Amino acid sequence: MKTALGQDIYTQSSTHNGHYNHIDIINGARRAGSLEKFVDEQGINDGVIHSCIKNKVPFVLAGSIRDDGPLPPVFSDVYKAQDAMREHCKKATTVICMATQLHTIATGNMTPMYKVEGDTVRPVYIYTVDISEFGVNKLRDRGSLEVTSIVTNVQDFVVNIANNLL
């Protein structure tokens, strides 16, 4: 489908009924019963969620008051979402937050600066990527010194990462 908000993600040209594509995807995932089954049934072989599922990288999808879902694994209860986020943040070695200001700030505030593994103390790396300077700088302003902020369009960031990892 390659659309966002009804526009082609590369050309930004409007597509016929493109603003419904995300609803179609959500409903497809709901019919499948899980994102794992949806990715498998639809033959999806790229993207962040596909990579997380394929490589068994845990992820937390926290809902918002404006959600069009619910997508199967989304936590619609904010307290349950926070608990799940805290659990994963404690175990994380690297966190990449993209384009969700409030979730980024919450995740950064929950993530420890370091981890102790055996006799080794190692840093936990946090990267924030957003087009908004406010969004990426907020964590550092609040004292999260381990964060590296990247001010850019998230789509460009993801495409460049994908192109340079292959």
Query: What is the count of structural domains for the chain?
Result: 2
**103-110 average pLDDT score:** 89
**117-121 average pLDDT score:** 94
Tell me the percentage of the chain whose pLDDT exceeds 70. Answer: 96
Q: What is the dihedral of CA 3, 9, 15, 17, to 10 degrees?
A: 20
Closest CA to 150 of 166, 134, 127: 127
**144-163 average pLDDT score:** 86
Better pLDDT: 2 or 122: 122
Tell me the percentage of the chain whose pLDDT exceeds 90. Answer: 43
Compute the Cα dihedral for 38, 20, 48, 96 and give only its sign. negative
Residues 132 and 59 in one domain: no
Residues 72 and 105 in one domain: no
Residues 36 and 64 in one domain: yes
Would you state the pLDDT for residue 79?
92
Closest CA to 23 of 6, 43, 10, 35: 6
Cα–Cα distances (Å) from 166 to 8, 48, 159, in that order, read 24, 14, 11
Would you state the pLDDT for residue 48?
85
Would you state the pLDDT for residue 142?
76
Task: Compute the distance between CA of residue 93 and CA of residue 152 in angstroms, rounded to an integer.
Answer: 23
**33-44 average pLDDT score:** 95
**25-51 average pLDDT score:** 92
Reported as a single tens digit per residue, the pLDDT across 69-103 is 678 888 988 899 999 999 999 999 999 999 888 88
User: For the whole prediction, is pTM greater than 0.75?
Assistant: yes
Distance of CA 46 to the CA centre of its chain: 15
Residues 63 and 47 in one domain: yes
Residues 48 and 20 in one domain: yes
Token pair in block for residue 47: 């993207």
Residue given tokens 């908004």 in the structure block? 132
Does 64 have pLDDT greater than 90? no
Does 119 have pLDDT greater than 90? yes
Residues 124 and 156 in one domain: yes
